[in-house]
Structure 1
Amino acid sequence: MLQKIFDLLHSHSRFNRQSFPEIEQHIEAVWSDRVAKEPWLFNGAKFRLHSAVLSVMEKGPVAEQAAQNLTQPQRGEGDQLESADKSSDRLAKDEQSCVLTLQLGLTCYKDYLGTNWSREAGRLQSHGQNECADPQAFLAQPLGVGAVMSTADGDVVLLRRSQKVAEAAGLLDIPGGHPEPKMLCPGVSEEAICADLLQGKERAVVSEIFSSVCAEISDEVNVPVSSLSKPVFMGIALNHTSAGRPSAEFYVRCTLTTEEVRDFYRHGGPEAHESTEILFLSRAKMFQLNERSPLWSEMCPSAKGAVLLYQRVMPDC
């Protein structure tokens, strides 16, 4: 899906996480404990996904397919991962029929650790459902990005996560990370960034979401950004090992061959410490991956969600 599908993007403080005194105390306690154990941790602002709505602007086969995709999410058993397809290969042929609206607030890494990644996540979801009719209302819900990156030979890149990372250590993942609000607020400290500063910058927010995908690939795989195509949006995956944390998944082509990508990776990049190994899967093997595949158990939830979306959207067909 091309970038123009994000014709509407609303950023407002009303899309921030809901709060009550007890959870704020819990967040502070969790953060203090983590920083004491890992003093190198730092807090940073993130975009919070409140909701994503695909509006069908006109009737027709493509519009009907878009509506169907919204109401038929995929579920991966065991890992409790759900991926909701917000696009399709046929939708790309008639982009004017649909508009994807993202409603974004702001959150931070500290809030994520104290909500989505906390032992209290289930209770917060129940409280959100009871008080706000929204189980995610009290969760940080930082919006991540991930990339199914294909080499010039048609192989897809997977990275083995380091044992030193906080989540999914040792598992296979796709390149990814987060779009950064600080990129739109030069000269403003992380703590001072607020939704009001993003008013009128909706296009810039969309641009940051897309550009962050290529930036993360470059940092983690160490390939030049100039070798990467414009990201194709596939959908949004929800990771239920972290209480439904959302990640926008993209497809990106690279002009480098598999061996060239391997060589760039071996030389190391800015985030080389986050992974220990690079693997390549052929397109055929990507479509064969499922819960019965031996490799499936080695993959982290975000990678599984991206695979499910890739298999459904087929962006390279």
Structure 2
Amino acid sequence: MDDTTERVLTLLGLLQQRQVWTGPELADRLGVTPRTVRRDVERLRNLGYPVHASKGIGGGYQLGPGQDLPPLLLDDDEAIVTAVALLAGAGGAIASGGDAALRALTKLDQVLPARLRHEVRALSVSVESFGGGRDPVDSEVLMTLARACRDEVEIGFDYRSTPRRIEPYRLVASDRRWYLLAYDLDRDDWRSFRVDRMSTVMLRTWRFRPRAAPDAATYVQEGVASRVYRQQARFLVRAPAETVRRQISASAAVVKPRDRDTCELISGADNLDIVLWHVLTLGHEFDVLEPPELAARCTELGERLTSAGT
């Protein structure tokens, strides 16, 4: 990068930091004459940056909005934070903004220097999602986990005060929290971990060859909505899957389409009466697929309700 280009980029960075700069202030910061500042401002204008100049008290150079959106100049920390924010949008934290966030994340990746590009790629390829907005977690932990997923490196961490050794596969963003799908080396099986419950997250020196893995988002969602509970239930709901998904939280149930007019709903609870109540309040006809005792419970409760209404 030649001196002029570097100086113009520095000028752009200064204009983005503060609303108004006087010519002498910029000249002092850049170590040049006011005439050189005027030439560099003109170079920015030719590149599409709407730099306005005003005279008098309170006047100076100001970077304003234009018809086209020129590229931003970000330092390293700002670029990484921007990538994390875009990732949250791509994961569903911003309503109807997922596709735009992914496009912006891709563009950011294209213009980042090599020392930062791998950080953004680690995030963009190592994260899946289901549901909407979620609780915040330590972005540095997310970056560490994403890098490990990308580089296929083992991770060690404490989980509820218990040391774990795992092969990380994917980060998954639910409608409330971040999870990591990984192969637990001590338990010899796939597990999902809540990121907010991890502590002392460390990259290990051992690399691994990826195993055949389940679909990350589906596995984590089924765990959150069903497997984590003592009892599970399956229902056939006579309504389109998209209709039912809009009625129930992604963390509360997994909804799978059967055909255009029916879907399967999977959920869990310590008391299945709770699940039954939620399905009942959806307002659609349904059948209990399993467990058989829940179908008998429906008959029992139905008789009670009929008796109460007479």
TM-score above 0.5: no
Structure index of larger Rg: 2
Structure-1-length-normalised TM-score: 0.22
Structure-2-length-normalised TM-score: 0.23
